[in-house]
Chain A
Amino acid sequence: MRKGSCGRSRGGAAAALVLVLVLAALAAAAEQPPPAEPAGGAAPVPLPDRVWLEDTPNDDGRQLTLRWRGGDGAAAEGVLLQPQLATGPDGPWFDAGSPAPARGAWYRDLEPVYGIFIRLGDDGGHGVVLKPLEVAPFAPARLVRLMLEPAPRPEALAELEQLLGKQTLAAIRQVLRDWEVGEPDDLAGHVEAKVMRAVERLVLGRPWYARLVASRDGGTLGTVAAEAPLQPAENLFDRRKVNNLAFALVFSALVLLLIRRARRDPDLYLRRLAGLDAVDEAVGRATEMGKPVLFVHGLNPMDSVSTIAAVNILGEIAKRVAQFDSRLLVTNYDPIVLAVSQETVREGFTHAGRPDAYSDDDVFLAASEQFAYVAAVDGIMVRQRPAANLYVGYFYAESLLLAETGATTGAIQIAATDSFTQLPFFVTTCDYTLMGEELYAASAYLSRDPLLLGSIKGQDWGKAILIVLLVAGAALAALDATWLIEPLIKVY
């Protein structure tokens, strides 16, 4: 009985001990659940063991790169890492961009942003680019709208203060006062652009906190915060463009060197350009026939290099027309090109000793609408029957309409364009066509100025270098050694 009683007592103690242990284990489990214990008893999911922020290079200070290492083993299959941003260490946190797969978003994949001249390596690191201004609560337009509410709601003000802090809010208010913006309607035109830009700078000009929230199948697995906050910085050099800069420097040095050489040795050889040799013939013919020479500008505005080249050619043509005592009609599409052309032709006539022969009415705006321009120029061709038509500049669909009408009038036609899509039309309808780079060489060729000719030599050397690089590149590509040529040809 005693024995029996003792046995019961021992059994009860053991049961109580087990119960205590179970309860203790349950309590521990309730206090500290394993963060990445997957269902089904699989191995636990390791979270990234190091997360940090770095400034995104080559940008205007609107981006941050969130980097991390680890947490990408086989057990992390299907795990998503949501980057979040905040302006304080305790939040509030907001999703920044889409979730990244734990086994993807490799740091090396950021090459389009970083460029090939920054070594990204292949050490298994991960990274995503975050854009704080694209996180909805921090969008400058929203912030300004909230601040411009006629009677700001206390909760809106509290939210703004929590997001940006008192100092930044005061600075934004000052910006709005400086630009005299008191209500949303005041935000118009350049005022809106200036205010938004100032607000952007103020929002970005503070430290940003980041973290990664891991989840799988909608369930959160854990959170890892970045080591330290970071303020995005504006970069002074786009390192993706190193190859571009190198080529620009080499080519510029070459051109300037050959221009300098041309000062010493002005007798530079330049191959003949039949189209330009025919200019004198065309102008002479116009004089004999008592008909005008028609110079037709392309459609591009004055900031286009092809239009500048056209104006340069126009100056030389004007001198010849004045020397031959003929008449020059210049049709323009753009009013700024018109003003420059009038000045250029006037100077050309003055240079030739015939300022009296110049008339502003001969250099005019035909139209500022593409097909209205065609109609106007075609009308001049049909009615006035110019002896020579010169089409110089960048043309679009109007090229054939102009040149074909000109061809039916029996005029000598010379075209000069860098618009390769229109070249076939000019080649088929004009007597002479200056193709591509010949447009840019034309003013040097016509003026025979040694300094200008020197720059043409520079162009030729640049082309020679490119041909060598192209042949070498093709050979290396054939040998599957593209990594050797990539730094030269990669463009961002």
Chain B
Amino acid sequence: MLKRTVPVAIAFVVGLWFVIQYFVPAGWSQQSLTDATNWAKILLGFAYILGLYSLVHVHWLRIRRRQPGYGYSLLVYLGLGVTVALGMVGEVEKAWNLLAGGSASFADFQTYGGPNWTSGVDWIYTYVLYPASATMFSILAFFIASAAYRTFRARTLEAALLLVAAAIVMFGRVPLSAAIDQAIPQFADWIMAYPNMAVKRAILIGVTLGMVATSLRIIFGIERAYLGGD
């Protein structure tokens, strides 16, 4: 009962309420949505403990078993340790000041760290995480080229149409096309605004109906796979 009936009942009551809530503009109705969103954030905070355990445990196993690439797992530990240490020390200092009757107040904990310690976390963010993310993102340009090559070399009618449309749109986006003929960028815009938009909206309509149907299945307890089983 606790594993099936209660969660399904909660999903029914809460799901139905938030469908109704969408149509109720009163302040208490809006507040219930804000409260639910806040609860979700609190849950997420606790869930991060689970996530951290999962991450640490999986990488620990890799290191212990000396799996290929276990050196990267050591880097995970190093990065995690250094970032957490730099992030926490400032907060511990503030907590100590608070407990010792110092000048720190509760509001201080809402600000992001202190002047000395946050600089370390900021440095990691600015000079390690950010460039590493940018590097991964920049690979996308090469991957787009290779994916496009694989698609366009296909010998089907659909692939040929895709190739022609893509060539027109890409060429219509560069200034040279307008220099040759104003009609080229206009035609590229037309492709994006009409055939492309029509397909996009068709997909969106299908997605929306799918979302509503899935929500109904969950609210009425027909779909229960998300509870872990059928």
Interface residues of A (CB under 8 A from B): 58-62, 185-186, 188-190, 193, 197, 201, 234-238, 241, 244-245, 248, 251-252, 255-256, 259, 301, 303, 305-306, 308-309, 311-312, 314-316, 332, 334-336, 338-340, 343-344, 346-348, 350-351, 360-361, 364-365, 367-372, 374-375, 379, 383, 397, 400-401, 404, 407, 418, 420, 423, 425, 427-429, 435-437, 439-441, 443, 447, 449, 451-452, 455-456, 458-459, 462-463, 466
Contact = CB atoms under 8 A, between A and B. Distances in A.
B192 interface: no
B133 A365 contact: no
B28 to A, nearest CB: 7
A458 B214 CA distance: 11
Contacts of B146: 404
Contact of A311 (B29, B51, B148, B225): B225
> At the interface, is chain B mostly helix, strand, loop or mixed?
helix
Nearest to B150: A428
A188 B204 contact: no
B26 A256 contact: no
Contacts of A252: 212, 216
B210 A459 contact: yes
Contacts, number: 229
Given A365-B55, A435-B203, A466-B209, 15 more contacts: A201-B27, A238-B23, A251-B212, A303-B40, A305-B211, A305-B214, A314-B225, A315-B225, A340-B226, A347-B229, A364-B57, A400-B143, A418-B207, A455-B217, A463-B209
A309 B24 contact: no
B38 interface: yes
Contact of B225 (A344, A375, A425): A344
B25 A369 contact: no
Contact of B136 (A401, A436, A443, A449): A401
20 contacts: A185-B105, A241-B22, A308-B218, A334-B44, A335-B47, A335-B48, A350-B229, A361-B57, A365-B55, A369-B133, A372-B129, A379-B69, A418-B211, A420-B200, A420-B207, A428-B151, A436-B207, A441-B210, A449-B230, A455-B213
Contact of B206 (A306, A308, A351, A463): A463
A344 B226 contact: yes
Interface in B78-107: 105-107
Contacts of A401: 136, 139-140, 143
A437 B61 contact: no
B43 interface: yes
A147 B217 CA distance: 51
Contacts of A197: 27, 31
B223 interface: yes
A482 B226 CA distance: 43
B137 interface: yes
A264 to B, nearest CB: 15
Contacts of B54: 332, 335, 338, 360, 364-365
A447 B230 contact: yes
> At the interface, is chain A mostly helix, strand, loop or mixed?
helix
A23 B103 CA distance: 75
B26 A61 contact: yes
The 5 A-B residue pairs with the shortest CB-CB distance in the complex, in nearest-first order: A440-B210, A335-B51, A437-B206, A347-B229, A343-B228
Interface of B: 19, 22-31, 34, 38, 40, 43-44, 47-52, 54-55, 57-58, 61, 67-69, 72, 105-107, 110, 129, 132-133, 136-137, 139-140, 143-144, 146-148, 150-151, 200, 203-207, 209-218, 220, 222-223, 225-230
A237 B225 CA distance: 34
Among B22, B137, B143, max chain A CB count under 10 A is at B143
Among B105, B210, B218, max chain A CB count under 10 A is at B210
A238 B107 CA distance: 38
A440 B226 CA distance: 13
B225 A400 contact: no
B44 A371 contact: no
Nearest to B69: A383
Contacts of A436: 203-204, 206-207, 210
Given A303-B40, A351-B229, A401-B136, A338 B216 contact: no
B55 A466 contact: no
A378 to B, nearest CB: 9
Given A311-B225, A420-B200, A449-B230, A437 B148 contact: no
A440 B27 contact: no
Nearest to A312: B225
B187 to A, nearest CB: 20
B51 A368 contact: yes
A249 B180 CA distance: 54
Among B54, B144, B206, B230, max chain A CB count under 10 A is at B206
A459 B223 CA distance: 15
B129 A369 contact: yes
Contact of B25 (A59, A188, A340, A351): A59
Contact of A372 (B24, B133, B225, B230): B133
A422 to B, nearest CB: 12
A396 to B, nearest CB: 11
A367 B30 CA distance: 33
Contacts of A459: 206, 209-210, 213
A315 B147 contact: no
Nearest to B220: A256
